[in-house]
Structure 1
Amino acid sequence: HPLIEEIRGKGLMLCLILKSSEIANDLVVLCAQKRLVLFWLLFEKNAVRITPPLTISEEEIEKGCAIILEVLDGLKQ
Structure 2
Amino acid sequence: MDGSNRQVLVTGVHALSMALDYEGNDLYLADHGTGNIVCISLNGGGKRIVSAQGGAGKYSWGISLSGGRVYWTSGHST
TM-score, normalised to structure 2, is 0.26
Which has more helix, going by share of residues?
1
Larger Rg: 2
TM-score, normalised to structure 1, is 0.26
Instruction: Between the two structures, name the one with larger relative contact order (CA 8 Å, sep ≥ 6).
Output: 1
